[in-house]
Structure 1
């Protein structure tokens, strides 16, 4: 059965690449994979389950590449590199990228998008721990995610000869400038950045009770979110 699953995923991925989401019909996948339609339903539940499995399978290599990269001493530089990898993956795999990010549904995210968001959150956490983050971690992550996805989808929509990667570079630097402070060695961070940095290390603090950690976390979130 594992062999059938692999054949189905390979067939569906090829159809997606060649013709987009509309090409991934149960009939077409069955014919390409050499299986009966009930096998697809038994393994994936329905067409949406199959599409989510295709997305997760397709994103696996990309996510492995991001997590396998050895972090440098500069988490902001690592965040910048992560942006470039994200945009590059989307342009190299437009149909797959559109499958994951092109049709958002309120309160729902494909497993592939959830996994990618976890990688981004870890990068944002490193920036916070270094005292370089000026916004609360969730806000910073949402800002990077929304700007990165918007930029990638915009570039995908353009004819290849009309794509100007300067757009990605400008968007990347604008977002990084909005969420980070100068290097602590060059300038003292303000109270918001200090609060964000302390908030990032709070889960590893063992001298406080859970109630005390919760209370301190609430205070730090308030400082980090205060109008500047």
Structure 2
């Protein structure tokens, strides 16, 4: 059994809150309802999160922690372009594994939630592996010179757009979603190849 107020309970509550958010929308998410659904008293829920905004902040940070862990798990090989593609695949997997957290991280699923400074810092950290991957491609002579931040933003925009289309069931049924995603990544990188 998870320790009261321990990290295991926090993760379990975040996952349960994400499920509630996905099923019932923002109005269906409250700390009392979360406690009841998770089978715990309200005291640890209020102790951990304080209020609904605190819960949403924890969900936001946990989503980015998971995304960061997925990106950090991609190994560096002698093929930086392949590694960059693997980063894109890790991004997609993280989004598909936690779609409701992803919606909170990058959308307005809860319009009244505004990420705080800690939440934005967590988001910024998860972006750095992509910038570093672009810089590695440039250093290897695979990508042209230029600001790696700008190139990374372009690649992320394509990846993010494809993931959103997939999560919202809006991809055309012309091929397997992963195949479409990989094609989009290939096309996104074309302008930067040497």
SS of the residue corresponding to residue 99 of structure 1 reads helix
Map of 1:1-228 to 2, 5 A cutoff?
3-6=4-7, 7-20=9-22, 22=26, 23-31=28-36, 32=38, 34-36=40-42, 40=45, 42-103=47-108, 110-134=120-144, 135-158=146-169, 162=173, 164-165=176-177, 166-181=179-194
1:99-156 CA distance string (max 9 Å, x none): 1112397998644432321221221221222233323111111111111111100111
Q: Are the equivalent residues in 2 in contact too, given 1:100–1:110 (CA < 8 A)?
A: no
TM-score normalised according to structure 1 size: 0.65
Q: Are the equivalent residues in 1 in contact too, given 2:71–2:87 (CA < 8 A)?
A: yes
Distance 2:55 2:45 in 1: 8
Gaps of 5+ in 1: 182-228
Q: Are the equivalent residues in 2 in contact too, given 1:9–1:53 (CA < 8 A)?
A: no
Distance 1:82 1:51 in 2: 26
TM-score normalised according to structure 2 size: 0.74
**Offset of residue 12 of structure 1:** 3.1
Q: Are the equivalent residues in 2 in contact too, given 1:121–1:141 (CA < 8 A)?
A: yes
Q: Are the equivalent residues in 2 in contact too, given 1:8–1:29 (CA < 8 A)?
A: no
How many residue pairs end up in the alignment? 179
Distance 1:140 1:73 in 2: 21
Moved more, 44-53 or 136-145: 44-53
User: Which structure is larger by alpha-carbon Rg, 1 or 2?
Assistant: 1
SS of the residue corresponding to residue 158 of structure 1 reads coil
Distance 1:112 1:18 in 2: 23
